[in-house]
Amino acid sequence: MVEIDDASGLKGWADELISPASVEDFARILKEAAASQTKVTISGGGTGVTGGRCAEGGLLLSTSKLTQFNLDGMIGAGVPLTDLHARTRAAGLLYPPDPTEWTASLGGTIATNASGSRSFRFGSTRRWLEALTVAFIDGTVRTFHQGELYPHPYTPVTPPKTTKNTAGYYLPPGVSWVDLIAGSEGTLVVVLEAKLKLIPLPKEVVAGVVFFTKAEEALNTVERWRSIPALNMLEYIDANSLELLQLRYPEIPAGSRAALLIERDGSDVDPFLEADFMDESWFAASTADRDRFRKFRHTLPELVNERVRLNGFKKMGTDFAVPVAEFPRYWAQCVSTLEELFPSKYTAYGHIGDAHVHVNILPETEDDERRGQQWLRDEARRVLAHGGTLSAEHGLGRRKKWMLPLQYSDLTPFLQVKSQFDPEGRLNHGVLF
Ligand SMILES: Cc1cc2nc3c(=O)[nH]c(=O)nc-3n(C[C@H](O)[C@H](O)[C@H](O)COP(=O)(O)OP(=O)(O)OC[C@H]3O[C@@H](n4cnc5c(N)ncnc54)[C@H](O)[C@@H]3O)c2cc1C
Q: Rounded to the nearest 5 degrees, what angle is found at the Cα of 298, between the Cα atoms of 290 and 92?
A: 40
Q: Which of 112, 117, 122 to mutate to test the pocket of ligand 1 (most atoms within 8 A of CB)?
A: 112
| Distance between CA atoms of residues 42 and 354, nearest Å | 29
204-292: CATH topology is: Alpha-Beta Plaits (3.30.70)
Q: What is the pLDDT of residue 373?
A: 95
Q: Is 50 in the pocket of ligand 1 (CB under 6 A)?
A: no
Domain ranges of the chain: 204-292
Handedness of CA 209, 321, 186, 374 (dihedral sign): positive
pTM to 2 decimals? 0.96
pLDDT tens digit string along 82-134? Answer: 999 999 999 999 999 999 999 999 999 999 999 989 999 999 999 999 999 99
Q: Which of 50, 74, 101, 124 to mutate to test the pocket of ligand 1 (most atoms within 8 A of CB)?
A: 101
| Distance between CA atoms of residues 37 and 24, nearest Å | 20
Q: Is 430 in the pocket of ligand 1 (CB under 6 A)?
A: no
Q: What is the pLDDT of residue 396?
A: 98
Q: Compute, in angstroms, the gap from residue 125 CA to the centroid of ligand 1.
A: 12
Nearest in space to 297 (alpha carbons), one of 362, 225, 244, 361: 244
Low-confidence ranges of the chain (pLDDT < 50): none
Q: What is the pLDDT of residue 162?
A: 97
- C-alpha 266: how far from chain center: 27
Q: What is the pLDDT of residue 286?
A: 87
Nearest in space to 105 (alpha carbons), one of 126, 128, 75: 75
3-state per-residue secondary structure call for 122-165: HCCHHHHEEEEEEECCCCCEEEEECCCECCCCCCCCCCCCCCCC
Other residues' Cβ atoms within 10 Å of the Cβ of residue 419: 11
